[in-house]
Structure formats: structure tokens, C-alpha cells
Structure 1
Amino acid sequence: MVVGVLHIQFSLPSANNLKDKRRLLTSLLDRLHNRFNVAAAEVDQQDSWRRAG
């Protein structure tokens, strides 16, 4: 089993509320899982709708 850690922060200027942010992140995480078979999670900036980390 290979384990790696990568910390990325995104700026989401088109997100106007937490619902928009959740929709964008869910789409991105689903595409990552389907294309590369990796697991990812948002672990920081959960209360800010313009930033994801």
C-alpha cells in the first residue's frame, strides 16, 4: 500500500455560500476518485465558503 500526503488550498471566488462550496468540492473529489482512485477530504477552512483546504 502506498500512502502520501498532499496539502492544497483552493480559492473559490465563484462560491457565494457554503452550499456552492460543497457542490464544487464534491464534484472535484468525485472526479479525483473516479479518475485516479484516490481518497481526499477537506480538513481545513470548513467555515469559509471562499477557501477550501
Structure 2
Amino acid sequence: MIAVNTMKCACQPCLCVVSISEAVQKEGKYYCSDSCADGHANGKGCGHHGCGC
């Protein structure tokens, strides 16, 4: 059995890979930031270097 420790942020345009243990979890999905988890409701990107979401 293989354990998954990281995965791509569930935000579609986001390029970030997030550690499951550190991710923002919402509705069973894993996000790299509160902005991504909230669907960028405030118009702000995730703020991670190299990501333009």
C-alpha cells in the first residue's frame, strides 16, 4: 500500500502542491491556502511564489 502525503491544490488554476497534513481542508478537498479554499472570493491569489492563481 502506498500512502499519499502530497497532492495538487484542489483549486483548478492553482499550480501548488500541498502537504495533506498542512493543507486547508474544505468539503473533502485539500487546498494550499484559505484564498483557494474560499474560491478567491476576495480576489486574492494564493500568494505562493511562482503561482498565478
* TM-score, length basis structure 1: 0.25
> Larger Rg: 1 or 2?
1
Identify, as 1 or 2, the structure richer in helix.
Answer: 1
Normalised by the size of structure 2, how large is the TM-score?
0.25
Which structure is higher in strand share? 2
